[in-house]
Structure 1
Amino acid sequence: MQTASGVNEFSRGWRILLASLLGIGCGLAAIPFYTAGVFAPHLAREFGWSMGEIMAGLTLTTVMVIFAAPAAGVLCDKFGTRIVALISLACFGLAYLSLATLGNSLTQFYLTWAVMATLGAGTLPITFTRTVNRWFDKHRGLALGFAMTGTGLFGVLCKPFLAWVIADYGWRAGYFSLGLLPLCLAIPAALVLFREPSQATTETLSETAVQEPLPGMTKAQALRHWRFWLIAAVLVPISFALAGAVPNLEPILLDRGIDSATILTLTPLVGLSSIGGRLIGGWLLDRFWAPAVAFVLLGMPAISCMILAGGQLDPDMARVAIVLIGFALGIEYDVVAYLTSRYFGMRSYAAIYSVFYVCFSTGAGFGPLVFGLIRDFTQDFAPALQISAAILPLCSAGFLFLGKYPVLSERYRNPSFN
């Protein structure tokens, strides 16, 4: 990894961060999950589809990502992140544009989601964090946090933007406008700003050395290492517990006696606090042992779950609960990206991180469904929230067993645009 002062890292790498923020915010990690609910009532009214049929598109996306994300990771390690990001952003944008032509066919709807998830997997944080990790070392945590704020910023801005577009021009224009975001914002930024760092200083390394692989484990080596399986094992239940509550937040708050008008002022706190989680959490990762940071920040939402599992709830306590959950959601992918780079190195970073991403996506994909089923069966979200309150601190404590960072050779320094 390159070494540099924090000022030099950011003065050289700010372009990478800006391109990554736009790429992640306009990609598969943000757009579908923040906007599906906005389109659902319009699709139901237009085509007579049920909410379950419409939201199954998101479930299909989760399933496809399980297969597509590792493939995207392998491609990034083999061909570099820039070309993967550019092609994937183009395919993702075109897939969203095609939704503007949607007819009364669930098959077409689902096929579009499947293609979007498969070809758009290169827009996931797997791609962009690989390059961010290579440009930053001393302030890697903060850099990752800044790059990942794209999801939170999009979450805050997309709904009022879509509400305006759909109100004036209809839901088809909404899909069309979302398709333009990766094509008109993220792709130009990637073309102009997004680069791999130089792999060696010409003063110290020969041409042969430049061609050597990056330091760290291969994917096969990582798969044989106990640390890999420990991280993978704790990510699924943690993501289940964190993600299960957020899509169900409105009905949870309604069950706790909070009125709809107040709920509208509370739910945006998830996106805002997630931005804070990314930046503050990233700052903490640079200064303290990452497993301890992960234990504290990912375990704290257990408090939120216990608050939400109680009886009548006042708005102030609801704010505390929502902020803690949002803060943890803001740090989760950053922590995993940071741990991957520190414990396994950069040689097969994207391939390794993609497996962890699948673990997190699996838990997050099924969490909301299980929460809803428990609510249907018990007429209360409390059992699901109480289970989550137990899961979060217990599984987050698993990170504490990772031990100290291994020593990785520092071969690649002083990144520059080529």
Structure 2
Amino acid sequence: MNEPTTALEEWRRYWPTVLAAMVGMSFYTVLTYSLSTFIGPLEAEFGWSRTALSSGLTVFAGISMLGGPFIGMAVDKFGTRKLGIIGMVLAGLAFAAFSLLNGSIVQWIALYVIYGIFALAIKSTVWSAGISSVFTHARSLALAVVLSGSALGQTLAPLAANKLINAFGWREAYIWLGLGWAGVALVLLIPFYFDAHARKAREAPGSEQKPAIILPGLTIKEATRDSRVIRIALANLLMASVGSGVSVHLVRIVSETGISMDTAVEIAATAGLAGLIGKLGVGWLLDRVQGSLIPFSGFAIGAFGHFLLIGLIGGATPLLIGAMCIGFASGAGLQISTYLISRYAGLRNFGAIFGTISSMMMAGTALGPMFAGAVHDLTGSYDILEMIAAPVMLLCATLFVGLGPYPEFTRPEQD
């Protein structure tokens, strides 16, 4: 089959794969974004503290951090179709298993360990690698749509969990969310989700040994010495470290400037919408404009947002703009980095390379909220946090300056 020669042709041929991957990506976020809705019922039934309830997400983040490079190598070797489908089945069952909680914290942590291991096969590395393998001309926008699945989960998971808990109770809510959401994803993944490995295999259905497909790009050793890859990785580590802390504490950061709690919640909610705009807007632009302007601007906007949240300018409007800038930068930052790694490192070992970068981001995500809380405990405010975050984000932006033109990789010999 001839390869598409334009972005429009790619979308006409591969849009079902993008849709399936987006829904798959959305389920990966359900456990995180539904927890706040389950906290009340679990507290009431078992008497658990907020610290104990939050400990599961720390375990989940740790597993994602440690397992990222390994799942990336599996993606490079086996492709993403089988991993995504099997992972969705197991993760859905593991999510539903939370309905069996009996009040034991050990069981709570054990379920997070089990879910965390299975969920490695449905994290962003998997879907990003699969989409990058079939899209060239419209790759950035396709990645943006897929990664927007996280915003879909962030928006719908609390609403769905709340309705299910009110209608059936928290145990049944875990079952419906786990089997229902994962089931919808599987209905789309099985008939529609085919990455380059799977498409190559379908072209030779009668052969005894399915042909291996080796995509062009850097080896892992070459990537570890490539200054462009290192700069992108460092920018993501720094962004995650300051950004996660601010995001988790955003409502409190805004409310402690004198804004009412209700208004603070509304202001913080705009960050999610701005993040979606950042993903899609930057995704569309990166397919059309090469250079440092878009990557630099995407991160620099975050620096401006952190400056506004210091509260030097009175009123709710600067805080609203600041929250939206931070949300935009968060969405745009992941989109920028995923796309640029696919261009500067290529696709040969995209899973392992981006999986490692993703693990670095998870490390920052795990440490950031604790650092933000420590700053507040020591100083009584978040001002120093924002004073640190603003220049750090500006440093992240400068790391994207002068990366140079995208390299042209030659496809290695097929076995």
Given the two structures, how large is their TM-score scaled by the length of structure 1?
Answer: 0.91
2:183 alignment counterpart: 184
**Aligned counterpart, 2:394:** 393
For 2:97 and 2:314, how far apart are their aligned partners in 1?
Answer: 43
1:406 is matched with which residue?
407
User: 2:97: which partner in 1?
Assistant: 98
Amino acid at match of 1:264: V
The aligned counterpart of 1:298 is 299
Letter of the structure 2 residue corresponding to residue 192 of structure 1: P
Alpha carbons of structure 1 residues 363 and 54: separation in structure 2 relative to 1, 3 Å? same
> Cα–Cα, structure 1 residues 396 and 253, in superposed 2: closer, same or farther, change >3 Å?
same
Structure 2 residue aligned with 1:270: 271
Match of residue 356 from structure 1: 357
1:328 is aligned to 329
- 1:64-103 pair list within 5 angstroms: 64-103=63-102
8 Å contact 2:214–2:411 — kept in the other structure? Answer: no
1:55 aligns with 2:54: yes
> What is the distance in 1 between the residues matched to 2:224 and 2:138?
28
The alignment of Structure 1 onto Structure 2 pairs a total of residues equal to 406
Question: How far is the alpha carbon of 1:289 from its aligned partner?
Answer: 2.4
Q: Distance in 2 between matches of 1:374 and 1:390?
A: 17
Distance 1:377 1:48 in 2: 29
Contact 1:2-1:135 within 8 A present in 2 as well: no
- Note if contact 1:200-1:411 (Cα within 8 Å) is conserved in structure 2: no
Cross-structure match for 1:416: none
Residue 115 (str. 1) matches residue 93 (str. 2)? no
Indicate whether 1:244 and 2:252 are aligned.
no
Aligned position for 1:20: 21
Letter in 2 for 1:365: A
Q: Deviations over 1:105-161 (max 9, x none)?
A: 111111111111112111111111112112211111111111111111221222222
Q: What is the match of residue 174 of structure 1?
A: 173
CA contact (8 A) 1:95 1:112 kept: yes
How high is the sequence identity, in percent, across the aligned residues?
27
Partner of 2:39 in structure 1? Answer: 40
Question: Alpha-carbon deviation of 1:173?
Answer: 2.5
TM-score (norm 2): 0.92
Q: Give the drift of 1:337.
A: 1.6
The answer (yes or no) to whether the contact 2:217–2:347 under 8 Å persists in 1 is yes
Question: Are 2:1 and 1:11 equivalent residues in the alignment?
Answer: no
Question: Counterpart in 2 of 1:368?
Answer: 369
Structure 1 position 410, deviation (Å): 6.5
Q: Contact (CA 8 Å) 2:36, 2:158: kept in 1 or not?
A: no
**Alignment match, 1:282:** 283
Output the aligned Cα RMSD.
2.4
Cα deviation per residue 1:357-404 (whole Å; 9 max; x = unaligned)?
111111122111211111111110111111000100112211224222
Contact 1:257/1:313 (<8 A) preserved: no
Gaps of 5+ in 1: 203-207, 413-418
CA contact (8 A) 2:309 2:322 kept: yes
- In structure 2, C-alpha distance between the alignment counterparts of 1:182 and 1:164, rounded to whole Å: 14
1-side partners of 2:93 and 2:152: how far apart?
A: 22
Residue 406 of structure 1 deviates from its aligned partner by: 0.9
Following TM superposition, by how much is the alpha carbon of 1:334 offset from its aligned partner in structure 2, in angstroms? 1.8
1:179 and 1:237 map into 2 onto residues whose CA distance is 33
- Conserved 8 A contact 2:72-2:125: yes
Structure-1 residue corresponding to 2:219: 218
Distance 1:401 1:112 in 2: 45
Q: Unaligned regions of 5+ residues in structure 2, if any?
A: 204-208
The equivalent residue for 2:255 is: 254
* 3-state SS, counterpart of residue 136 of structure 2: coil
Shift in CA distance, 103/387, structure 1 to aligned 2, threshold 3 Å = same
Amino acid of the structure 1 residue aligned with 2:113: A
Which residue identity is paired with 2:362? S
Determine the C-alpha separation between the residues in 2 that align with 1:171 and 1:259.
31
> How far apart, in 1, do the equivalents of 2:215 and 2:130 lie?
12
- Mapped contact 2:375–2:381 kept (Cα < 8 A): yes
- Residue 150 (structure 2) pairs with residue 130 (structure 1): no
The residue matched to 2:399 in structure 1 has which SS?
Answer: helix
| Alpha-carbon distance in 2 for matches of 1:348, 1:288 | 25
